[in-house]
């Protein structure tokens, strides 16, 4: 197995992803399956809502962020496994055609008290659009393997 073990992570390290463009039709089909509300389904109906136009479901943004993160240079050995989150915010809506990427920073690294073969890293991942506006901020606690 390749990838980074707990011992390879240090506070302050940063990791980056490629870019992924958000397709208008995928916003609507994701909305239809998982978040069927007017602002995620139809331009016309979205106009009179809080969003003032079609916007991706926050869960669509979160899912795309996960995809970008899996393919980023973070690469923990054993995969990206979330134990929980301290924070999840969507400061700006994601619009059709937006191009998203992630920036991640390690905030904490600590061995597990109960499991000597693993530890936790706390990572803040910011998802940015093509104007460098944050569209999602998430602080995750990830389970990472230790070297043996």
**Binding positions for a copy of itself, rule: CB under 8 A:** 30, 33-39, 49-50, 57-60, 62-64, 66-67, 70-71, 78-85, 87-90, 143
Q: Please state, in angstroms and rounded to a whole number, the distance separating the CA atoms of residues 38 and 128.
A: 24
Q: Please state, in angstroms and rounded to a whole number, the distance separating the CA atoms of residues 137 and 97.
A: 20
The smaller minimum CB distance to a copy of itself, of residues 12 and 79, is found at 79
| Shortest Å, Cβ 132 to a copy of itself | 21
| Shortest Å, Cβ 123 to a copy of itself | 14
The smaller minimum CB distance to a copy of itself, of residues 11 and 88, is found at 88
The smaller minimum CB distance to a copy of itself, of residues 13 and 118, is found at 118
| Shortest Å, Cβ 141 to a copy of itself | 10
4 — phi, psi (to 5°)? -85, 135
Region for residue 110 given its phi and psi (left: phi exceeds 0; alpha: psi -120 to 50; beta: otherwise):
beta
Closest CA relative to residue 78, chosen from 123, 117, 127: 117
Half-sphere exposure of 50 (CA within 13 A, CB side): 4
The smaller minimum CB distance to a copy of itself, of residues 105 and 137, is found at 137
């Amino acid at each position: 197995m390749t990838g980074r073990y707990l011992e390879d992570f240090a506070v302050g390290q940063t990791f980056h992803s490629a870019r992924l463009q958000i397709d208008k039709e995928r916003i609507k089909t994701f909305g239809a399956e998982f978040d069927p509300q007017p602002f995620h389904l139809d331009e016309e109906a979205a106009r009179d809502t809080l969003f003032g136009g079609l916007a991706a479901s926050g869960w669509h943004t979160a899912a795309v962020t996960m995809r970008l993160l899996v393919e980023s240079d973070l690469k923990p050995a054993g995969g990206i496994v979330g134990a929980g989150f301290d924070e999840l915010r969507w400061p700006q809506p994601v619009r059709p055609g937006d191009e998203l990427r992630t920036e991640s920073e390690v905030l904490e690294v600590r061995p597990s008290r109960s499991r000597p073969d693993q530890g936790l890293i706390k990572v803040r991942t910011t998802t940015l659009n093509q104007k460098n506006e944050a569209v999602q901020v998430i602080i995750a606690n990830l389970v990472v393997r230790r070297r043996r």
